[in-house]
Amino acid sequence: MMSFYSGVLLPFGFASPEGASDSGIVGGKEAKPHSRPYMASLQVGKDHTCGGILIRQDFVLTSAHCKHAGMTVVLGAHNISRQEASQQRMEVAEFIPHPQYTGEYDYDVMLLKLKRVAVLNKYVRPIELLKKGGRIRAHLRCTVVGWGRTGEDLPASKVLKEATEQTQFDFECKNIWQQYFNGTQMICTKFDRKKGGVCQVRSNGGSSRHGGAASERLLSPCRETPADRCSATTSFGG
């Protein structure tokens, strides 16, 4: 990352007015292996269902809509199709969704308490979070990171990918998302069609939000609208 503070947006908490959604990085580039040691792949069986971030040795932060009883947390991964020596697989001891989360768009955030503490090393390390009361200014360059889908009708990437986006003013986000955008809890970023960024994937019926199989398609933020909406759970690193 750059030496000045640059946001890291993790595409695990996206939602759409058209229904349940998942997310992926379209365009962008493969991240340098293990350059994001805080990243977690949340898996059901062997399928990646959501991303998360390690914020303490025994806690991972993700989206509340990702809750699944059979979930496994994989830390230290780059290629999630392989059993890399760097990987640590953890079971979840407790799901702690935000107390005001109702299954809708607001407060879509959750803590996962791990059954055992992670072994910290160069592959696994918690991220530094934005301090309480800190503000995320407009036009901040952010790196979006994840293993999500890479295009319409394409499977999820097996390797960690990243792209750069830019945060927008609340009024810009409100104009696009209207009643679905809440500036006290959310931010939105500008999608760059040349450099790539986060796209939403819709699940017909919503089962993909919980790890099930479903018919999916990319939504408009990658094709028609200039901004993606996400939870304002943003992390920072030097």
pLDDT in tens, 97-126: 999 888 877 788 899 999 999 999 999 999
pTM of the model: 0.74
At residue 204, what is the residue type?
A: N
**Full domain range(s) for residue 166:** 29-234
Residue 169 has pLDDT above 70, yes or no: yes
pLDDT in tens, 57-108: 999 999 888 899 899 999 999 999 999 999 999 999 999 999 988 887 778 8
In a domain, 120, yes or no: yes
Q: What pLDDT shows up at residue 8?
A: 46
In a domain, 196, yes or no: yes
In a domain, 105, yes or no: yes
In a domain, 5, yes or no: no
Question: How many Cα atoms occupy the beta-carbon half-sphere of 155 within 13 Å?
Answer: 8
Query: 18 burial class (0-12, 13-18, 19+ CB within 10 angstroms)?
Result: exposed
Contact 1, 162 (CB under 8 A): no
In a domain, 145, yes or no: yes
Residue 136 has pLDDT above 50, yes or no: yes
d(CA 230, CA 67): 17
d(CA 51, CA 39): 7
First to last CA, the chain: 7
In a domain, 23, yes or no: no
At residue 142, what is the residue type?
A: C
Active centre residues (catalytic): 65, 108, 203
In a domain, 10, yes or no: no
- Report the greatest alpha carbon distance in the chain: 47
The CATH number linked to 217 is 2.40.10.10
In a domain, 108, yes or no: yes
CB count in 10 Å sphere of residue 57:
14
Structural tokens at position 87: 């990987």
Q: What pLDDT shows up at residue 104?
A: 76
Q: What is the total count of domains within the chain?
A: 1
pLDDT in tens, 214-234: 222 223 344 444 444 444 443
- Based on C-alpha coordinates, what's the Rg of the chain? 16
Binned at pLDDT 50, 70 and 90, residue 46 comes out as confident
